[in-house]
Amino acid sequence: MKSDRPKFQQRKIRLIAEAQRDTAINLLRNLPLDPVRPLEVVVREEVKARKLDQNAAMWAGPLRDIAEQAWVNGRQYSAEVWHESYKREFLPEEYDEGLCKEGYRKWDYTPKGDRVLIGSTTQLTVRGFAQYLEQVIADGASRGVMFTERPGRE
């Protein structure tokens, strides 16, 4: 048995007031019923994305310290290069609802089959970003980096 229903476009409704609840109820009433490809309804607490001050603290703190102090094979690298390297190493490989926002993917493939990093720290939750930053700091410390305290750093 095959369903000829088109792919359902995911929707999110943040329940803040009566108007959003009414929208959700109307959506539920109009969802297609499909025994072959049934839809799934999930209600949960909103997943909080990382905070902008976490991002600022990373660039003004650990990444800057690592770029200024770390040496690998006789050379130093920019904060941007370290950030790219750390994303490849420390971003979660798979979606984890506690660490990532919905829809997170770390890798994709080009038409030729080459693996490309598409994951971003912007797709991490507050907890996921804190874990990522801990890993960055641990790696920097293992390279002898002395981290400095800067204004606005948590």
> Could you report the per-residue pLDDT of 113-123, keeping only the tens digit for each?
999 999 999 99
pLDDT at 102 over 80: yes
CATH 1.10.3790.10 boundaries in the chain: 52-142
Local structure of 68: helix, strand or coil: helix
pLDDT at 111: 96
Question: What is the residue-averaged pLDDT of the chain?
Answer: 88
Model pTM score: 0.66
Indicate the burial class of 28 (C-beta count within 10 angstroms; 0-12, 13-18, 19 or more).
exposed
pLDDT at 151: 42
Find residue 116's DSSP bridge partners.
108
Q: What is the C-alpha to C-alpha distance for residues 59 and 53, in angstroms, rounded to an integer?
A: 10
DSSP for 90-139 reads: HS-SS--TTTB-TT--SEEE-TT--EEE---GGGBBHHHHHHHHHHHHHH
| CA neighbor of 145 nearest in space, from 62, 54, 58 | 62
> Could you report the per-residue pLDDT of 16-56, keeping only the tens digit for each?
888 888 888 888 998 888 888 888 888 877 666 666 678 88
Confidence of residue 80 (pLDDT cuts 50, 70, 90): very high
Find residue 100's DSSP bridge partners.
124
Helices (H) and strands (E) in the chain, counts: 5, 2
The amino acid occupying position 64 is: R
Q: Which fold has domain 52-142?
A: NinB fold (1.10.3790)
